[in-house]
Amino acid sequence: MSKEHFHPVFRSETSPAEQQEALPSRRSFLRRSAAVAGGGALAMAGAARATPLEIAPTSKEPGRGIPESMYGSPSKFEAYVARRRSDVLKNRQNWSDWSMTPLQYQPGIITPNGLVFERHHAGVPEIDPATHRVAIHGMVKQPLMFSMEDLVRYPSVSRFHFHECSGNGLTDWLKPSATTVQQTHGLLSGVLWTGVLASTLLDEAGLEPGAAWVLFEGADAAAHARSIPIEKVMDDAIIAYAMNGERLRAENGYPVRLVLPGWEGNTSVKWLRRIKVGDQPWHLRSETARYTDPMPDGKWRQFSMVMETKSVITNPSGGQSLKRPGFYEVTGFAWSGSGKIRAVDVSFDGGKNWREAVVEGPVMDKSLTRFKIGWNWDGKPAILMSRAVDSNGYVQPTVQDLQKSRAIVGFVQHHNGIQPWAINEKGEVRNVIGQA
Amino acid sequence: MSSARRERAVACALGAGLLAWGCASLGPDSAAGPGMAAKSRSGIPLGRSGPHEVQPVADRPHFGQPVTEADLAKWNIDVRTPDGRGLPPGRGSVAEGKKVYEAKCVACHGADAKGGSVYGPMVGGIGSFTTNARVLTPGSMYPYAPILFDYVRRAMPMDRPQSLTNEEVYAVSAYLLHLNGLVPADAVLDAKTLVAVQMPNRNGFMVDDRPDTGAQRCMTNCK
């Protein structure tokens, strides 16, 4: 058995060792598939196959019992579905580093918790929820402190939102550097967040007149902090303690974090310790020297929080290959930090002609959204790309469009350009960003 | 009208809806919205939102424990960097900062902050932003000198953050500013003099002005 069982269309990218390991079973799988297909046709014609299909070994002995850990893990055959650190920008340490979500293996809009991307500025703290406290102070009528026990007693909200790092795609602007969609777009995950609205807690503390910005600070070794406009905080900010049906994972902010739907990931401060209300932004390192965008004439765009409308084809994507001409369902994700996905168009000829894809529900505000479109590959070279349109009518730009207004120099954030994938006669898919 | 929608409408009618456009989105075409046109009072694009259900006021219990600013004194480490609000008492010289740097920073950042085993340079880069090789250092990038104090105090040294005294943080800030040519060798920095240091990138920032593209939804013969 091989990964083709769940990814029957596109052979996934694999290391040479993995390919070696996978080959015999893949061949036998293909043989079996051919036999089944042939057998079906023969059966219709009234003829019998040479030898009947074998009884599967799993049908002839009991499976394993309930494991002692009592917390389930994916099948061992799915071990290749894992986060990976960047293979393009290699950090010399892994405390201020990131790991990326394997989007090419994610069928729905929810990223399993063990695959949600990570970005830390000084490692993952281990925080005891029994002693952790969150404070609200500054321009409030009554400074307050909350235990975790307090926070989970409040009326809660649960909302689906995408979560994306502002640096997603920063290695791939004008020329391809990364191979797979995990490396080009994997600082992206889809999560059902549960928590208490920040407005509930701030209303309890009571905002003083003139309150305009709020500082959120983490209890990690970076004490990562960001200044956030009060309008966003009071609109839809969540003080979240759970994700995808369980408490936060340590690497995603356990026991409590901020979630700012649709905004760049680092503003959703993890391991939340302190909320301070003020009348101006703080202009910290994290919002001046970092997380700002280079602009023409040596300038920097600051407080660029919203993640703009974007999409990417995940199947087929870089490093995969199409085994033979014929029908393929092309699928991917679209998302907008400023509303819902209205439409996604797909081009098979490098952007000359486009067809509207099917947008699969549920279509939710600031959430990953699935699109799909059928395609008959004729075996000739093709360039596939997707283009999202959001509920404001905003159309996803190309990198060439973005280059007209921004300076693409160094580590450039906020890349929402169209991602092209080229397919050659052999069916091999590769990243051609900036070339098509 | 659902109860959640009704509550939203009531909240808007009472003026409790903080954002006028949040109320406008109650109309039948809730898919349409102003998108990035919605901005904070400071001019920051917010993105279109909602509509969301609103919790009834009766469902807002009070579980917070009252505290005082004095209780939070050790946590209260932020500096509002343009005017230095939050900078503590204390002072430090370039010479003292060199000693602190060589004891606690040099292993990762290298001699004279020129880059080391783990991180790149913290000196130079001034004037590089108009070239195709922008070099980001505290000297070239920070618009306000207190950013250095705030960041060192909250996050450095990486293996023992929040372990330096305020005097050590002032001193190492002075040393790094001196290496960048921004204060003289005999400088002594405190809450007042640190704020007064003129940073070359003071006017290097612009507020978010996106969307900055105008892509069209062409379907045939587009290129």
A287 touches chain B (CB under 8 A): no
A404 touches chain B (CB under 8 A): yes
A155 touches chain B (CB under 8 A): yes
- Name the closest residue on chain B to residue A95, using Cα atoms: B158
If you average pLDDT over residues A127-141, what whole number do you get?
A: 98
A299 touches chain B (CB under 8 A): yes
Q: What percent of chain B has pLDDT over 90?
A: 74
What is the structure's pLDDT at A89? 82
- What ipTM describes this predicted complex? 0.89
> Cβ contact (<8 Å) for A150 and B64?
yes
Given A301, A324, A350, which residue is the final one in a domain?
Answer: A301
Identify all chain A residues contacting B201, using CB atoms and an 8 Å cutoff.
300
Instruction: Please give the DSSP secondary-structure letter assigned to residue A76.
Output: G
Q: Is the pLDDT of residue B29 over 80?
A: no
Q: Is the pLDDT of residue A249 over 80?
A: yes
Other C-beta atoms closer than 10 Å to the C-beta of A387 total 25
How do residues A389-428 score in pLDDT, each as one tens digit? 999 999 999 999 999 999 999 889 999 999 999 999 999 9
* Chains A, B: CB pairs < 8 Å: 276
Least confident of A20-29, A379-388, B48-57, B168-177: A20-29
Strand A293-295 relative to strand A310-315: parallel, antiparallel, unpaired?
unpaired
What is the structure's pLDDT at A45? 56
Number of domains in chain A: 3
Instruction: Please give the DSSP secondary-structure letter assigned to residue A248.
Output: P
Is residue A254 located within the same domain as residue A107?
yes
Q: Chain A neighbours among B 193-222 (CB < 8 Å)? A: 201, 204-222
If you average pLDDT over residues B50-71, what whole number do you get?
A: 86
Asked if residue A65 belongs to a domain, the reply is no
CATH of residue A348: 2.60.40.650
Test mutation, A392, A396, A402, chain B, max B CBs within 10 A: A392
B76 touches chain A (CB under 8 A): yes
Q: Is the pLDDT of residue A215 over 70?
A: yes
**Residue A70 φ/ψ region, left for φ over 0, alpha for ψ in the -120 to 50 degree band, beta for the rest:** left
> Cβ contact (<8 Å) for A306 and B46?
yes
What is the structure's pLDDT at A95? 87
- Name the closest residue on chain B to residue A418, using Cα atoms: B215
- Joined together, the tokens standing for residue A235 give 């609109």
What is the structure's pLDDT at A94? 86
Between A274 and A68, the more confident residue is A274
Is residue A265 located within the same domain as residue A319?
no
**Unique residue bearing structure tokens 């009528």:** A141
Q: State how far the Cα of A269 lies from the Cα of B74, in Å rounded to an integer.
A: 20
B40 touches chain A (CB under 8 A): yes
Nearest in space to A142 (alpha carbons), one of B62, B86, B61: B62
Q: Is the pLDDT of residue B126 over 90?
A: yes
Between A397 and B17, the more confident residue is A397
What is the structure's pLDDT at B118? 85
Q: Chain B neighbours among A 261-280 (CB < 8 Å)? A: 261-263, 273-274, 276, 278, 280
| Nearest-CA distance A260 → chain B (Å) | 11
- Name the closest residue on chain B to residue A278, using Cα atoms: B80
Q: Is the pLDDT of residue A4 over 50?
A: no
Q: Are A189 and A97 in contact (CB under 8 A)?
A: no
Sign of the alpha-carbon torsion through B180, B181, B186, B190: negative
If you average pLDDT over residues A98-109, what whole number do you get?
A: 96
Given A273, A301, A329, which residue is the final one in a domain?
Answer: A301
How do residues B98-113 score in pLDDT, each as one tens digit? 999 999 999 999 999 9
Is residue A273 located within the same domain as residue A315?
no
> Cβ contact (<8 Å) for A143 and B66?
yes
Is residue A180 located within the same domain as residue A134?
yes
Asked if residue A67 belongs to a domain, the reply is no
What is the structure's pLDDT at A26? 39
Q: Which ranges of chain B would DSSP assign to H, the alpha helix?
A: 3-13, 20-24, 94-104, 106-109, 138-141, 146-155, 166-179, 191-196
B154 touches chain A (CB under 8 A): yes
> Cβ contact (<8 Å) for A122 and B161?
yes
What is the structure's pLDDT at A398? 97
B62 touches chain A (CB under 8 A): yes
Given A301, A321, A338, which residue is the final one in a domain?
Answer: A301
Quickly state the pLDDT bin for B190 (edges 50, 70, 90).
very high
A366 touches chain B (CB under 8 A): yes
Domain boundaries, chain B: 3-58, 91-196
> Cβ contact (<8 Å) for A387 and B217?
yes
- Name the closest residue on chain B to residue A154, using Cα atoms: B61
Q: Are A320 and A13 in contact (CB under 8 A)?
A: yes
Q: Is the pLDDT of residue B4 over 50?
A: no
Q: Which ranges of A227-358 would DSSP assign to H, the alpha helix?
A: 230-236
Is residue A140 located within the same domain as residue A280?
yes
Q: What percent of chain B has pLDDT over 70?
A: 83
How do residues A305-343 score in pLDDT, each as one tens digit? 999 999 999 999 999 999 999 999 999 999 999 999 999
Q: State how far the Cα of A182 lies from the Cα of A315, in Å rounded to an integer.
A: 12
Mean pLDDT of chain A: 90
Instruction: Please give the DSSP secondary-structure letter assigned to residue B144.
Output: S
Identify all chain B residues contacting A212, using CB atoms and an 8 Å cutoff.
40-42
Range of the domain at A192: 87-301
Is residue A291 located within the same domain as residue A316?
no
B47 touches chain A (CB under 8 A): yes
What is the structure's pLDDT at B139? 98
Identify all chain A residues contacting B78, using CB atoms and an 8 Å cutoff.
215, 217, 225, 276, 282, 284
What is the structure's pLDDT at A12? 54
Is residue A96 located within the same domain as residue A209?
yes
Asked if residue A63 belongs to a domain, the reply is no
Asked if residue A270 belongs to a domain, the reply is yes
Is residue A260 located within the same domain as residue A316?
no
Q: Chain A neighbours among B 96-125 (CB < 8 Å)? A: 117-118
Asked if residue A436 belongs to a domain, the reply is no
Asked if residue A406 belongs to a domain, the reply is yes
> Cβ contact (<8 Å) for A404 and B213?
yes
Mean pLDDT of chain B: 86
Asked if residue A52 belongs to a domain, the reply is yes
Between A163 and A7, the more confident residue is A163
What is the structure's pLDDT at B101? 98
> Cβ contact (<8 Å) for B63 and A146?
yes
| Nearest-CA distance B32 → chain A (Å) | 6
| Nearest-CA distance A194 → chain B (Å) | 14
Asked if residue A340 belongs to a domain, the reply is yes
Distance set, CA A392 to CA A289, A341, A343 (Å): 31, 9, 11
Is residue A108 located within the same domain as residue A217?
yes
Pick the CATH number of B91-196 from 1.10.760.10, 1.10.10.10, 3.40.50.2300, 2.60.410.10: 1.10.760.10
Is residue A52 located within the same domain as residue A142?
no
Give A375's Cβ-side CA count (13 Å radius). Answer: 29
**Which residues contact residue A44 at a Cβ distance below 8 angstroms, ignoring those fewer than 6 apart?**
none
Test mutation, A133, A140, A217, A306, chain B, max B CBs within 10 A: A306
| Nearest-CA distance B95 → chain A (Å) | 24
Quickly state the pLDDT bin for A67 (edges 50, 70, 90).
confident
Q: In DSSP terms, which residues pair with A341 in a beta bridge?
A: A390
Q: Is the pLDDT of residue A213 over 60?
A: yes
